[in-house]
Structure 1
Amino acid sequence: MANPTCQLLAVTVVLGAVQLITSYSFKNCIEDPRAKGKNFTCINRGESNISAIVDDLPLSAFSIVIAINPISHIPNRAFENFLNLEHLKLDHNHISTIDEFAFRNLMKLRSLNLSCNYILELKPSLFEDLRNLTFLSLTNNRLKMLQVNIFSTVPQLDTLLLRQNFLTNFSQIAQSVSPLRYLKTLDLCFNNLTSLNNSNNLLNQSLNILYLCRNNLISLGCEHSFFRYVHLLDLSNNFRLPTKAFQGVDLSHLRYIRLSSTAVKIVDFLNTTNINVDCVDFSATGLKNESLIKDLCRALKAKVQRMTKLRLCHNGITNLTTKALYDCPKITHAVDLSHNRLKNTKCLSFLTKHNNIQNFSAEHNHFISLPSCRRKNRTDMVTFNNLENLSYRYNRILSVSCYAFSNTPNLKWLQLNINTIAFLNRKALRGLKKLETLRLDNNLLTDLFNDTFEDQINLEILNLRNNQISVIFNNTFLNLRKLTTLDLGGNKISHFEPLGLEGLHSLSKLYLDGNNLKQIDSSLYHAFQNKLRALDLQRNQIRFLNETDISPFVNLSKLSDLKLDGQRPYGLTLLPRNFFRGLRSLRSLYLTDNHISHIAPDAFDDLAGLHFLTLINCCVGVAQLQPGVFKNLKNLTKLIAENMGIQNFSKEVFGNLTQLHTLQLNRNVMQSIDVDALENLPNLHYLDIRNTPLTCTCQNTKLQNWTLHNPKVQVVYLYSQPCQNERKHKFYNFDTRICYIDLGEYLFITTAVIIALFTVSPILYVKLYWKLKYSYYVFRAWFSEQWRRLREEEEKCKYDAFISYNSSDEQWVMEQLLPNLEGSGSSFKLCLHHRDFELGRDIVDNIVSAVYSSRKTVCVVSQNFLRSEWCSLEIQLASYRLFDEHRDVLLLVFLEPVSERKISTYHRMRKVMLKKTYLQWPGSDCADPTQAQDLFWNQLRRAIRTGGQLETDEDERCINLVTEPSDTETLDETYYLLP
């Protein structure tokens, strides 16, 4: 069992490491770089444990967004340490249960969003500590009921959203919200309420907005004064709600009421209630023909003589004559006929009596043209001098005739966008001299002429986006001297005539994106008188194939925003030197999706004031950024270099970005990042290196340490960054211990020790010579004694000899060797493999054990022995003990003559034969075989017993001693031991 003290120390170390690791990089969240330590988003992380998401966030967090995660449970005290938290969003998760004390200690929380989850119930004390909560959203959950006092602990709540649940009991809801004295907005739409009865408790003066749309209300069932404090009441889409439901109910305090898609008869409703007619929205109330509209007008006039607005949307109205609204009270402000089926405005003739209105909207109808409204052509023409806002959006208008708006001379806002206008008469806008905003976008216009906007001398915003315009003719905008915004994006403009932009002296924003421009004509921009601030040239066909020193922006010294993204179809290809010359005030530059193969080293030299630069996917393959390419961008605060193919992040390229705050390097190909380059960015706070193939090698040891312990820089999702070489491992904790073996350190220590020895040795020799000499001899004597004892112990082996032989020679071993060494009075104990090897044990283990547990190894050498792999292993082991351990353990016995060529492959055996005496079994060719064999056994016994080298005297040698044999001769220089 581990030592508890050690365990505690390990835990302490781990916790300390975690504290360091989580200093400024977060496992599942991203900090808003604009609000350090304040706002965090934890979106789509695939994490089901709420603690794993928030545990490493700083306790100073002001706002936390946790959305689109598989979280199903919020445990107790999940956020208790975030004492400064004011905004918490937990929407679009899978939350089904929330523990009773989940939000404990969130005293400063002001808004809580729990929408789009699967919450079934709210525990009684869930909101107990949320005394400062003002906004609570429980939209789109599965609540069926509310606890009576569930909101009693949130007295400051002013907005409560309970729409899209399964609530059925309004009385219970009213009782639960009754303690909320500051509640202003209550949203109960999309529930299953059938009545508002027993709701006397819902009488707070603060409640002004009540949404009850899309329920199953069949009656109100409330007291007379129930709505006396409500200003906005939405009862729409309660399909069975009848008119009689309002009998006896005071509606006089309402300022707006929606009754669309109900069973309420609107005329009866007006006649039987004390409603202020000006607050009623008559949209989708079944007023589909002129007869019903006239009835409505008479009912309205019976109540008032004037009204500010009339809303008749979603009624299916197809036609209105001049008498349709004649009986209505005089309308002074606005008429809205959107979402009907009108096909003609008839120059607003149906509003003859209401010519003082200021706003008219007829969006989402079926108009196909706007006719001429010139007075001299029509005697019944009415002029609307007070009309300022006119909208015909989302219709089917194909053409606009001349003088189409001559009866509305004081228009300031005209919306004709999202139609199919292909023909705009040159004089269609004649007379609109006070017009300030004109929307003609999303139509089919092909041509603009020099008199199209002749009268729009006060126009400030002109939107012509997404038409079919291909050429801008001379003087088209000549009179638009006050125009500040011109949007020509999404057309087919291929060129401007020389005076195409003449007259635009106040223009500050020009959008030319999505056209067919092939070049940037600097001669056009002199018309702006150096006031242009934003220029959008995205998705054109601008391309450079050769270097050029001409800058198209020399006349735009005040330009602050330039977009050149996504030039079609090949991108800019080349970014010339001095391309941005003259843009001294540029603050934002967009160059994404351009497939640039070369960026000149001085391309950005004139952009000293640049603060934002995005280069996402701007280059082809691996980006070869030249050293010093960003050298003048000392004011740059945000650089997005995503998917550029950057291979090396170096100080030479990025080192001058001293004001850089945000750096996005994700989806590049660099395998390492130079820490020195990062440390040269003193103001860096946000670094994104996701999806870069960083390797977990010693090359990145410094980078790992920097990302973990730098207290200033947030590395986005650092703990999800995998190792490129091992995807299962993470970059932040790969093992770096091997990287700290410092060869220089070891060399220093070794050198220091040697020098110390050379320094100390002479001193010791002089001072301690006789003492050291005496100690040496004492140690030598002691060591010799110990060595002698050790050798004696080693000699006490289990076997006297291990017999190594081939199975084909087994007969000789059993009939000759065994009887002569173990029998006949001999006391030897032999180890034979078939008899003494341990059953079930590996053969190699048995051989090693036999060799090392025997005093001698006797190799019975024959032709078959030399061909055996096991015999070869046995002689190798024995010769190892002979030569490497200096133990005299090997005896060679040759049963037959063997050629030296065959022995030469066994170099250790030949080495033994050269240094040691060996025995050969005397064959039948000897003069006296019996006597020779007796001598052979005596000599072998003596060799095994003594443990020494076989030595013979001169007179004991074989009579037929032969000299060194040749390669072709056999070994017959054997030694027959004779008496």
Structure 2
Amino acid sequence: MARAKSIALALVVVLCQLILLTAGYAFRNCIEDPVQRKTFSCIYRRQSNISALVGDLPFWAETLNLSNNYLHTLPPHSFPHLHQLRILRIDHNHLQIINAFAFYNLGQLETLNLSSNEINHLPSSAFSGLLNLTELILSRNVLETLSLDIFSGLPILNFLSLQGNHLDNFSQIAASVAHLHRLNKLDLSSNYLQSLQHSSSLPQSLTILYLCKNWLVKLACEPNLLSSVKLLDLSYNKKLQSAALQGLNLKNITYVRLRYTRVSPDNLLSLTNVNPGHIDFSGMSLSNKFKLEELCKLLKSRKKKLHKLILQSNEIQNLENVTFSNCPIITGAVDLSHNRLKSTDCLYFLKGQNYLTDIIVEHNVLTSLMSCQKLNFSFPKLTRLSYRYNRILYIRPFAFKQTVRIQTLNLNINNIAYMDHKALRGLNHLTTLRLDNNLLTDIYEDSFEDLYNLQILNLRNNRISVIFSKTFHNLNHLRILDLGGNKISQFQHWAFFGLNNLTNLYLDHNHLKEIESRHFGPLQATLQVLDLQQNLIRYLPNSTRSPFQNLTKLKDLKLGGQIPSGMKLLPHGFFHGLNSLKSLYFTNNQISSFQTDAFDDLTSLEFLSLDNSGIGMVQLHPGTLKNLRKLKRLSAENMGIESVSADVFGNLTELQVLQLPHNAIRTVDQALLNHLPNLRYLDLHECPISCTCSNTWLQNWTKINYNVQIVYLYNLDCPDLPGSKFYNFDIEVCYLDLGLYLFVSTSAIIFIFSVLPLLYVKLYWNLKYSYYVFRSWFGERWRKLHDEEEQCKYDAFISYNSVDEQWVLDQLVPNLEGKETSLRLCLHHRDFEPGRDIVDNIVNAVYGSRKTLCIVSQHYLRSEWCSLEIQLASYRLFHELRDVLLLVFLEPIPESQLSAYHRMRKVMLKKTYLQWPGPDCSDPTRAQELFWNQLRRALGSSNSSPHREDEKGEWSKENNFANQQVKDDTLYYLMP
């Protein structure tokens, strides 16, 4: 049977994992904490079904919070695959029914919180399988009874809270916990217990027992029931009499509370064996001096020394000088909080208690602290003095002369409007001073003059408007200075002089309009935390000097929420100098546009919050975050960002958390995620992500991605498809036609690239020959229809390199223009129009001449201008079907060199070309004469057809004659 259950459980786990793999890294109702991994929060999801909350959670979850939902029932095996869970919270739901084996398989669970529900019954097997549970909280439910074996499966339970239920049978409770041999703390407060009558004993391990706020009248228990208890709280049992404690063994009690019962101190001491030094005498009606004096005498008779004396909530109004003179020596604290004291009279009532370490007079009605300059006694051991929550209006000079060795002084939450310059004189051992939440308007140069050992000074929430020069000049050891919540609008020169070790400075919620680097001069070597939130700071565009340029050690800076409507503008270089900054809070500022260099100086930044810092639609320009390569967490909620691109966020290679909820984002750049290799958490909820084909990749990515958590993916609506969700909108339409088109196009391309090479190899020359034969035939017919040729300005445009200019002037021009032919030639240096663009001149020369004569040499081939000229002439030859191009080679050029000049080789293949006879031929004169005759004939031929049969016959004759009279290398005619 056990094996079958194990197999079934394994199958369930595998099924859950398959579901997870299908869904990618996103959860329907939960969020995994990006910092504390394996911690999941599923609060405020309005879910009534436990499977809807935890069904898609991964098996590795260790902490799970399901509070503030609408759960009504936990069925058996509610968490089948979460076998690694250690902490589970299901508080503040509407749970009424927990079925047997509801928590089965949670063998690693250590803490279970079921408080604030409506549970009225627990089956015997409700907690079966929780072998490692140490803390069970069932407070604020409606339990009336407990089955005897309800906790039998919790062998190592340490803390059990049943506070705020409807339990009235202590014997039943004792029986249910009797076997919990490791139970240390049991909370039964706020139930309906009337007695401690029992049939079973409490575990010997139980040391803390809360029974306050019940209906206890008598205890009716065996004397040793509470023998192992050390902390016992019986307060607020208003009918509990002293006699109820008679005979109880309370010798191990270290703290007992009997506030607001009918137990009197004298009866408690006389009827029980409790140690007097371990009794809390709060709320025991010790309101007048006679009762206090009697208590002191009684304590002194029982004990010579007392560790602490707690006298809270006794309605004490006055304490005379001799009130505590009869008390034993108190070596710890005297607590007089929650009384009605109007004055302490320099603590004269405690005179002689030289071993006191703490005096606490909080929540009274003190109105002033008088001067104690003339006193001749002190408290040499006193280290802490607290006057919080009083009505103190002013403090006189030398008010603490009798407590000069204190280290902590709490004067916060009073009405202090005036503190004398000498009020704190002599407190040179003080390390912590709290003056927050008062009405102070001014602090002076000598206010803290003697506090040279002070480390923490809290002046928050007063009415200080100016920090005067050298106010803190003697506080060389001060580490934390809190001036937040005041009305500070300016700092005088040297305001922070002397604060050579200050690390934390809080100036938030003041009236500062601007800050300058000079203000922080003495702090530049030590300041690490600076809070400037909620001020009036604003800068103009021409502001260039950074107020932080000297704060090279600053690690945490808060600039959020400048009033009334944000900073509006970040000047150039505003953060210059903050090379060590780790965290920047820039929330609730209405910046219209962030300049591309706004954050360039923050090269060490790891956390950046820009929440609510935009006006309308904010455009983050490419490069704005380019230097934040160490950034690990970026929050930019509700900034009106419209797009998320790699140009903006692509440099954040260390980014782990990207929070962009409540923006106007419709698409996400697909390339972005490739630039963020360490991203683990992406929050886009409440963004109108478009459910169109442009986002199909994102939908697919969310299904196969296992590294980046998409927050509330299943709640992303489709703004363009009402009623649809982004994670499952129909993407078939995006691939149906596209796939067909891709198939057809790729098939055609493959076919073409397969067939063309075959055709080229097999039929190229046949096709080309046929083409030229047809074009020659067609050109001849066209010439016969058009006898007249177009009129041109020149007979020939001479294309040559300047190096060959001498040959052109000495040989070519005289033989073509000086003879009987009188041809009109176009030469660069002579006929180009001065001042006109060289390209325009070349174009006009080519198209204004019947033919183009190219004088080819090695220099010609290396000239860019010559290349342009032959390309233009070739265009007319090949595309306009005009026989306009003639080639003359001044020197032999190997074909290997011509192979790089594709167009020239193409011309040579289809056209006759001439080569100038060199000096090494047998008869240079005859060869040159023949050369000029043939060149003149070529220049005088018609442009109509590049292949004329009559000319071809004549050229062949003369070529044969030349072969007989001159060596073969003198003159070449190469026909196609």
Distance 1:757 1:540, change over 3 A: closer
Of 745, 748, 755, which residue of structure 2 is paired with 1:748? 745
Of 453, 458, 463, which residue of structure 2 is paired with 1:463? 458
Q: What's the counterpart of residue 122 of structure 2?
A: 122
Q: What's the counterpart of residue 113 of structure 1?
A: 113
Query: How far does the alpha carbon of each residue in 1:685-724 deviate from its partner, in whole angstroms, 9 at most, with x for none?
Result: 0010011111111111111112222110000010011111
Q: What's the counterpart of residue 164 of structure 2?
A: 164
Name the amino acid aligned to 1:333. Answer: G
SS at match of 2:512: coil
Name the amino acid aligned to 1:745. Answer: L
Q: What's the counterpart of residue 594 of structure 2?
A: 599
* Residues 42 and 65 in structure 2, CA contact (< 8 A), matched pair in contact too: yes
The offset of 1:599, in angstroms, is: 1.5
Query: How far does the alpha carbon of each residue in 1:539-563 deviate from its partner, in whole angstroms, 9 at most, with x for none?
Result: 1111123143211111100000000
SS at match of 2:192: coil
* Residues 373 and 381 in structure 1, CA contact (< 8 A), matched pair in contact too: no
Matched, 1:402 2:397: yes
Name the amino acid aligned to 2:140. Answer: N
Q: What's the counterpart of residue 349 of structure 2?
A: 350
Deviates more, 1:412-421 or 1:380-389: 380-389
* Residues 73 and 95 in structure 2, CA contact (< 8 A), matched pair in contact too: yes
Separation in 1, partners of 2:572, 2:739: 46
Separation in 1, partners of 2:523, 2:537: 21
Query: How far does the alpha carbon of each residue in 1:337-391 deviate from its partner, in whole angstroms, 9 at most, with x for none?
Result: 000000001000000131320100000000000000113xxxx642111111000
Separation in 2, partners of 1:199, 1:428: 62
Separation in 2, partners of 1:678, 1:505: 46
Of 439, 446, 470, which residue of structure 2 is paired with 1:451? 446
Separation in 2, partners of 1:489, 1:753: 74
The offset of 1:752, in angstroms, is: 6.3
Name the amino acid aligned to 1:751. Answer: A
Q: What's the counterpart of residue 418 of structure 2?
A: 423
Q: What's the counterpart of residue 433 of structure 2?
A: 438
Separation in 2, partners of 1:185, 1:14: 40
Query: How far does the alpha carbon of each residue in 1:821-849 deviate from its partner, in whole angstroms, 9 at most, with x for none?
Result: xxxxxxxxxxxxxxxxxxxxxxxxxxxxx
Query: How far does the alpha carbon of each residue in 1:210-232 deviate from its partner, in whole angstroms, 9 at most, with x for none?
Result: 00000000111111111111000
Separation in 2, partners of 1:421, 1:697: 64
Q: What's the counterpart of residue 836 of structure 2?
A: none
Name the amino acid aligned to 1:327. Answer: N
Name the amino acid aligned to 2:661. Answer: N
Distance 1:502 1:749, change over 3 A: closer
Q: What's the counterpart of residue 229 of structure 1?
A: 228
Matched, 1:246 2:249: no
Separation in 2, partners of 1:311, 1:370: 22
Separation in 1, partners of 2:709, 2:328: 64
Name the amino acid aligned to 1:676. Answer: A
Distance 1:326 1:726, change over 3 A: same
Separation in 1, partners of 2:263, 2:52: 53
* Residues 490 and 512 in structure 2, CA contact (< 8 A), matched pair in contact too: yes
Distance 1:309 1:754, change over 3 A: closer
- Aligned counterparts, 1:578-657, within 5 A: 578-657=573-652
- Aligned counterparts, 1:887-906, within 5 A: none
Name the amino acid aligned to 2:596. Answer: P
* Residues 195 and 220 in structure 2, CA contact (< 8 A), matched pair in contact too: yes
The offset of 1:238, in angstroms, is: 0.4
Matched, 1:31 2:28: no
Q: What's the counterpart of residue 664 of structure 1?
A: 659
Query: How far does the alpha carbon of each residue in 1:220-267 deviate from its partner, in whole angstroms, 9 at most, with x for none?
Result: 111111111100000000011000001111111100000001111222
Distance 1:746 1:455, change over 3 A: same
Separation in 1, partners of 2:352, 2:285: 24
Deviates more, 1:497-506 or 1:548-557: 548-557
* Residues 670 and 698 in structure 2, CA contact (< 8 A), matched pair in contact too: yes
Deviates more, 1:180-189 or 1:23-32: 23-32
Separation in 1, partners of 2:310, 2:751: 101
Q: What's the counterpart of residue 81 of structure 2?
A: 81
Name the amino acid aligned to 2:53. Answer: I
Q: What's the counterpart of residue 58 of structure 2?
A: 58
Name the amino acid aligned to 1:128. Answer: S
Q: What's the counterpart of residue 262 of structure 1?
A: 261
Separation in 2, partners of 1:671, 1:235: 62
Separation in 2, partners of 1:534, 1:425: 31
Of 678, 684, 689, which residue of structure 2 is paired with 1:683? 678
Of 667, 673, 676, which residue of structure 1 is paired with 2:668? 673
Separation in 2, partners of 1:542, 1:360: 43
Separation in 1, partners of 2:402, 2:747: 102
SS at match of 1:414: strand
- Aligned counterparts, 1:747-826, within 5 A: 747-748=744-745, 751=748
Query: How far does the alpha carbon of each residue in 1:474-526 deviate from its partner, in whole angstroms, 9 at most, with x for none?
Result: 11000000000000000010010011110000000000001111111201212
The offset of 1:436, in angstroms, is: 0.1
* Residues 257 and 281 in structure 1, CA contact (< 8 A), matched pair in contact too: yes
Separation in 2, partners of 1:334, 1:704: 65
SS at match of 2:225: coil
Separation in 2, partners of 1:370, 1:239: 36
The offset of 1:746, in angstroms, is: 4.2
Separation in 1, partners of 2:342, 2:17: 75
* Residues 576 and 599 in structure 1, CA contact (< 8 A), matched pair in contact too: no
- Aligned counterparts, 1:486-525, within 5 A: 486-525=481-520
Distance 1:21 1:544, change over 3 A: farther
Name the amino acid aligned to 2:201. Answer: N
Separation in 1, partners of 2:446, 2:399: 15
Separation in 2, partners of 1:55, 1:366: 57
TM-score (structure 2 length as normaliser): 0.75
The offset of 1:747, in angstroms, is: 3.6
- Aligned counterparts, 1:109-188, within 5 A: 109-188=109-188
Distance 1:575 1:529, change over 3 A: closer
Q: What's the counterpart of residue 536 of structure 2?
A: 541
Q: What's the counterpart of residue 384 of structure 1?
A: 379
Distance 1:521 1:199, change over 3 A: farther
The offset of 1:109, in angstroms, is: 1.0
Structure 1's unaligned 5+ residue stretches are 1-12, 763-979
SS at match of 1:245: helix
The offset of 1:15, in angstroms, is: 9.2
Query: How far does the alpha carbon of each residue in 1:376-410 deviate from its partner, in whole angstroms, 9 at most, with x for none?
Result: xxxx6421111110000000000000000011110
Distance 1:167 1:720, change over 3 A: same
Count of matched residue positions in the alignment of Structure 1 and Structure 2 = 744
Separation in 2, partners of 1:199, 1:553: 72
Query: How far does the alpha carbon of each residue in 1:108-167 deviate from its partner, in whole angstroms, 9 at most, with x for none?
Result: 111111111111111111222111111000000111011111111111001000000000
Separation in 2, partners of 1:750, 1:387: 93
Name the amino acid aligned to 1:146. Answer: L
- Aligned counterparts, 1:779-928, within 5 A: none
The offset of 1:200, in angstroms, is: 4.1
Query: How far does the alpha carbon of each residue in 1:410-446 deviate from its partner, in whole angstroms, 9 at most, with x for none?
Result: 0100000000000000000000001000000000000
Distance 1:623 1:285, change over 3 A: same
The offset of 1:570, in angstroms, is: 2.5
* Residues 577 and 601 in structure 1, CA contact (< 8 A), matched pair in contact too: no
Of 556, 563, 570, which residue of structure 2 is paired with 1:575? 570
* Residues 200 and 226 in structure 1, CA contact (< 8 A), matched pair in contact too: no
Separation in 2, partners of 1:145, 1:679: 59
Percent identical pairs in the alignment equals 49
Distance 1:752 1:413, change over 3 A: closer
The offset of 1:678, in angstroms, is: 2.4
The offset of 1:598, in angstroms, is: 2.4
The offset of 1:19, in angstroms, is: 3.7
- Aligned counterparts, 1:545-556, within 5 A: 545-556=540-551
SS at match of 2:402: coil
Separation in 1, partners of 2:207, 2:614: 57
* Residues 524 and 553 in structure 2, CA contact (< 8 A), matched pair in contact too: no
Separation in 1, partners of 2:532, 2:209: 47
SS at match of 1:310: strand
Name the amino acid aligned to 1:655. Answer: G
Separation in 1, partners of 2:419, 2:481: 18
